[in-house]
Amino acid sequence: MSNNNKDIILVAENISKQYRLGVVGTGTLSHDLNRWWHRVRGKEDPFLKVGEVNDRSTSGSSDYAWALRDINFEVQRGEVLGIIGKNGAGKSTLLKILSRVTSPTTGEIKTKGRIASLLEVGTGFHPELTGRENIYLNGAILGMSKAEIKAKEEEIIEFSGCQRYVDTPVKRYSSGMRVRLAFAVAAHLEPDILVIDEVLAVGDAEFQKKAIGKMQDISKGEGRTVLFVSHNMAAVKSLCTRAIVLENGVSVFEGDTDAAVDFYLHNEKLLIKSKLLELTDRIGSGKVLFSKFEILNIENKILSAAMSGEYIKLRVHFHAHEVVQLKNCRISISVKKDERDYIVLSSELVLNYNLNLTNSEKVDFILEKFPLSKGLYKIELFLESEREIIDWIKNASDLHVENGDFYGIGKSYPKGWEGKTVLVENKIEVS
């Protein structure tokens, strides 16, 4: 680690991790001997030259896959670094390498001070032991002395909110209680670097707010470093000072948190490429056709995913071969989980409005606080005029939604909304 910057507490240099598919361990004896023979002769490992990118959407032909490839970054003392990316991007693998749970195939991690990891719910908890006994067990696993644990025992129990059940065996705890207790132990360990992997998703809204506040205290008040992986973009925005975006095991963006989240949501590879004009599964007279569906943010930037709680525009474009004037139009965008499960109906009646559609007119439905939680939804588009169906596409496009902060405390959607048909109050712009 460089000595010219004393504030740098962690450095990752050319970190790569290769796995052999379908095999536990490094491979066959012949592979291990081959590797050893190249190493004693000072040659490069021959298996580093093979392997394919970690793209789950392709079948591939190699037995080797790179979970991570050439990751480089530095973290300063007191910084909160967010690591974001889709499932399978390599986030958890990177945290396991940083936590010394597994070793990198190539590269090196250089750190100063003690690292504590909270990678999975209740890791190190023994189901037959009580919560209090598990505090001592888990604390010892994380590197705390008995005196350190005893000094913080009551503080840990109070923070976890499990006072009533602390002398009950952990096997009788809910998953939420286990994660509360596990987080409380790790957060009070006073490590120089705290590594956290998506554990807050299990806690309720009250505990999420409490945990995020504790992590802010750890970084800002106590000057310790936090590495934080989460799919909750609101938590990443509120907590992290900087973020890295991983895609197929490769770092594709590093910088300011807001810019990183925007990059993540504006993924060119995932942008909706629906060619609605080519769809034949539609109903209507066909005088006017839906030609394109887009999701935009408050800055009119096209997104690959919406985020719950955020200002979102759902934009539809129209196409007509000649000037068509439609009166008493009803334009509707429906969001659904399946054919029968309509979750949001967003519709508008445009009275006596003459749609001049030769110039490919567009309509924006503005949702100032997007109400849905993380998931994949389907979009249905509907246009009628004077009670005549003009165009109706039941499966026009997919809609990806990422977790956001609807309440301002990490909860994704208002209680009672998900799974129900709701007519959303929205604004409409026709241009």
Phi–psi pair at 410, nearest 5 degrees: 100, -5
Phi and psi at 412, nearest 5°, equal -85, -30
Judged by DSSP in three states, 133 sits in helix
Which residues make beta-bridge pairs with 381? Answer: 333, 393
Strand order of the sheet with strand 193-197?
115-118, 193-197, 225-229, 80-84, 242-247, 250-256
**pLDDT tens for each residue of 152-167:** 999 999 988 888 999 9
How far, in Å, CA of 369 to CA of 304, rounded?
A: 17
Read off the pLDDT of each residue in 48-66 and give the average, rounded to a whole number.
Answer: 56
Task: Give yes or no for residue 29 having a pLDDT over 70.
Answer: no
Q: What is the pLDDT of residue 235?
A: 79
Q: Where are the domains positioned within the chain?
A: 75-265, 276-430
Q: Quick count: other Cβ atoms within 10 Å of Cβ 33? A: 10
Strands 302-303 and 375-385, sheet pairing: unpaired
Do strands 388-402 and 306-307 pair parallel, antiparallel, or not at all (unpaired)? parallel
Segment of 17-31, 95-109, 258-272 carrying the highest mean pLDDT: 95-109
Q: Which fold has domain 276-430?
A: Coagulation Factor XIII; Chain A, domain 1 (2.70.50)
pLDDT in tens, 202-253: 566 677 777 777 877 877 777 788 898 887 787 788 888 899 999 888 998 8
Residues 142, 358: Cα–Cα separation, whole Å:
67
Question: What topology is assigned to 75-265 in CATH?
Answer: Rossmann fold (3.40.50)
Q: Is 150 helix (H, G, I), strand (E, B) or coil?
A: helix
| pLDDT exceeds cutoff 60 at 293 | yes
**Would you say the CATH fold of 276-430 matches that of 75-265?**
no
179-184 — which CB contacts under 8 Å span 24+ positions?
Answer: 179/121, 179/122, 179/203, 180/207, 181/122, 181/125, 181/131, 181/134, 181/135, 181/156, 182/118, 182/121, 182/122, 182/123, 182/124, 182/125, 182/138, 183/118, 183/211, 184/156, 184/157, 184/159, 184/160
Whose CA is closest to 271, among 294, 246, 253, 245? 294
Q: How far is the C-alpha of 257 from the C-alpha of 80, rounded, in Å?
A: 10
Residue 415 has pLDDT above 50, yes or no: no
Range name among 39-53, 124-138, 203-217 with the lowest pLDDT average: 39-53
> Diameter of the chain by CA atoms?
83
The top-scoring range by mean pLDDT among 127-131, 143-147, 199-203, 300-304 is 127-131
Q: What is the mean pLDDT of the chain?
A: 77
CA torsion sign for 56, 266, 376, 431 is negative
pTM (2 decimals)? Answer: 0.63
Identify the residue with better confidence: 327 or 133: 133
